[in-house]
Structure 1
Amino acid sequence: MNMMKVAFFVLAAHAPFVMAQQATPIPDSVSPSGAGGTARTGAPTPPPDTSDRRTMVGVSGSYENLSGTQPSWHDYNFRLNKNFGGRRIFDGALTRSSRFDLDDNQISGMYSTPLTAKLSGSVQGSYSPTHRVLAKYSLGGAFQYEFTRGWLGHGGIKTTEFNDVRVNQGLLMLEHYFSNFSWAVALRPSRAFGSGANSTELRGGYYYGDRNSVSISLSGGREASNVGTGVVLADVRTIAIFGRHWLNNNWSANYAIGHTRQGDFYNRNGITVGLDYAF
């Protein structure tokens, strides 16, 4: 296993696994949609062979049903992923989001590049001109270091500005690849409203065929979450299954299903499907 097969982790937030959880069921490190109401707007897993200069474009949509009388959520995304070769990758997305009967638009982007043979760095940001539920903007950076064959460490920081609070978040993650499997454990300390909060994630992955993968993620902790009336600190628990399956050399499908318990406010059950074309 080398770093070419590993998705560059971008600290931000897309998926229900971090601060201000407002995303689709897929963790942002692999998310094809990267819907960014969370404190981290994620980027999808790059094409597995990152030495291959390719461009990928894709569309995805997500639906999440909320318990009680809360209206359902809908996200629609267009994504561009450009692999320049040499582990240099750009990923950008346009998102249309509907949450709590409020519509938002967002643009997000990420760029990652090698700094040494074993160290890579990435920067990412997002901006919403509407920011009714989504964050006004976010800005962050992360590093990935390959200690030895199959072992990687990640670290990063990010700040996210909502209408009523700024959320600052850190990342520490250890990742290991072996045979056709991988596992990762992550700690995300954060600060909002003058108080500290932490969340953790455990993730396992299986790789099959030439470029296909399926993963499961379990996460929990105290996080800043938008519950419709504003951002609050809440205990959040999430389980999600997500993956990518290549239909041929150019077309691939991505998917995710997830369940999130958003403190005592509501539960979310969601599904995401997407289609990408690489050329």
Structure 2
Amino acid sequence: MILRGLAAALLAIGVAPCAAFAQTLQQQAQALLDQRQYAAAAELLEHRLEASPGDTDARFMLARTHAWSGEPARALPLYEKLLVDEPDNTDYLFGYGQALLWSGQPDRAVEVLERAQRLAPDYAELAQLLAQARDAAPSAQPSDATAEASTPEQAVAAPLPQQRYRSIAFSARRDWLDGTYDDWANLRFDVADTQAGRVGAYGALVGDRRFGMNDQGIEAGLIVPLTATWTLQPEIGLVSDADFLPRYYADLRVQRVFANGWIGAASLRTSDYPDGRVDRLALGAERYWGVWRAAYTFNLTRLHGSDSPGHDLRLARAYGDRNETGLQIAFGREAALAGTGVVVSDVRALILFGRHVLAGNWSLLWNMGIVDQGDLYTRRSLGLGLERRF
């Protein structure tokens, strides 16, 4: 990957851009839940389900939101719908049993939780909840020890369970250059393991062919929640015997989730190329509303002591279950490759991108577009990838 600034962000395809959409929505809702703003979280999740009725993650989080806000009866039909498709999902069974208990149906809760315990006998929180349900059932008297957390109001300080996201993706991209330059080719293998409210990790193996040369490298990063609304994201990349890619890069990004669907972010990045160093400051704002998201990023790139400003605009629409399609426009000046050297050039770019769920947990990732790199060259690109989510 060249420069995780404007050009690479325009053309890279993998888990990061599309996974970020679902991850950010989850972060917003989780931040609201952590602050006990249940009504705002429910509104955000309901809008998401209107646009994507098959989004099981949003449905699961909405069910938990209703249960913990003191309306467990509203959670029951949501859990029942989830369990139709995944009857052996112990997290769904746990939440369903909890909502049944809190809505005054301890006998049914015992039945559901006993089934869950047979599937996951080592699930400690489930065993505790089952004991509470048994104590609350008419056939037994609740004990003082287990009755303390028998309602959402009494258990409000307990943490909500978090949904975990793991994925792998393989993608390929081809760039056709005009003039005397050879075409470019890129292959990536990405992995990610993230969970809202907890430290997540991601990485990639990358192979690039440009100007008749080949470079291979690795990338790795962490997603570190500092508070309910602040997230730190350090990332590094290494290329051994680099001919045109940076020998290494280091990036540090900080993000804050605000109310009403707003997200702000800033990042600092340094990339060490064979013939010089490129530094970049990026400042961005993103807004989610309904099925739409819009983002703007201002990039300030420094090369050989001079600063070059660039702009990146994106508009995307969600549809179906975790699907998205969008448009990206970029313009300004940036660091670009000219053979093995890095120079500053004008840039204008128009990119279409998206994700479409094929079947089960498989998704198609795609992008296509054109980048005018000033007087250097014009690139036309097509990228395709497959992602498997666990």
| Fold match by TM threshold 0.5 | yes
Structure 1 CA distance for aligned equivalents of residues 205 and 176 of structure 2? 22
The answer to whether residue 225 in structure 2 is matched with residue 114 in structure 1 is yes
TM-score by length of 1: 0.85
Q: Distance in 1 between matches of 2:311 and 2:197?
A: 32
Residue 195 of structure 1: aligned partner: 306
1:75 and 2:186 are equivalent in the alignment: yes
Identical amino acids, percent of aligned pairs: 31
TM-score by length of 2: 0.61
Which of 237, 247, 263 lines up with 2:348 in the alignment? 237
Paired residues for 1:98-247 under 5 Å: 98-247=209-358
Q: Give 1:114 shift.
A: 1.2
Distance 1:55 1:159 in 2: 28
Q: Is the 8 A contact 1:243 1:255 kept in 2?
A: yes
Matches of 1:153 and 1:275, distance apart in 2? 29
> Does residue 14 of structure 2 align to residue 32 of structure 1?
yes
Please point out which of 18, 41, 62 is paired with 1:45.
18
Q: 1:139-180 CA distances to partner (integer Å, 9 max, x unpaired)?
A: 011111112120111111111110111111111111111111
Q: Which runs of 4 or more aligned residues in structure 1 lie more than 4 Å from their structure 2 counterparts after TM superposition? A: none
Q: Secondary structure at the match of 1:131?
A: coil
Identify if the C-alpha distance between structure 1 residues 222 and 262 changes in structure 2 by more than 3 Å, giving closer, same or farther: same
> RCO higher in 1 or 2 (8 Å CA, sep ≥ 6)?
1
Q: Does residue 56 of the first structure (1) align with residue 38 of the second (2)? A: no
Pick closer, same or farther for the CA change 1:87–1:211 going to 2, 3 Å: farther
For the structure 1 residues 24 and 196, does the alpha-carbon distance in structure 2 shift closer, same or farther, using more than 3 Å as the test? Answer: closer
Asked if structure 1 preserves the Cα contact closer than 8 Å seen for 2:169 and 2:385, the reply is: yes
Distance in 2, Cα, partners of 1:99 & 1:73: 5
**Structure 1, gaps ≥5 residues long:** 1-11, 34-42
1:229 deviates by 4.4
How many Å separate the matches in 2 of 1:84 and 1:194? 40
Q: Distance in 1 between matches of 2:324 and 2:17?
A: 13
Classify the secondary structure of the residue corresponding to 1:116: coil
Whole-angstrom CA distance in 2 between matches of 1:112 and 1:248: 28
For 2:78, the equivalent position in structure 1 comes to none
| Equivalent residues, number | 251
Q: Give distance in 1, aligned partners of 2:239 and 2:3.
A: 14
Secondary structure of residue in 2 paired with 1:247: strand
| 2:189 maps to amino acid | F
Question: 8 Å contact 2:243–2:340 — kept in the other structure?
Answer: no
CA contact (8 A) 1:79 1:94 kept: yes
Distance in 1 between residues matched to 2:280 and 2:172, nearest whole Å: 27
Contact preservation (8 Å) 2:275, 2:342: yes
The structure carrying a bigger strand percent of its residues is 1
Where structure 2 has 5 or more consecutive residues not aligned to the other structure, the ranges are: 27-161
| 8 Å CA contact 1:25, 1:256 repeated in 2 | no
Q: Using the alignment, how far apart are the partners of 2:272 and 2:299 within structure 1?
A: 17
> Per-residue CA shift, 1:221-257, capped at 9, x if unaligned?
1111111141111111111111111113311110000
The aligned amino acid for 2:326 is S
Which of the two has higher C-alpha Rg?
Answer: 2
What SS does structure 2 have at the residue aligned with 1:45? helix
The structure richer in helix per residue is 2
Residue 119 of structure 1: how far off its partner (Å): 1.0
Change over 3 Å in CA distance of 1:101–1:56 after alignment to 2: same
Letter in 2 for 1:45: C
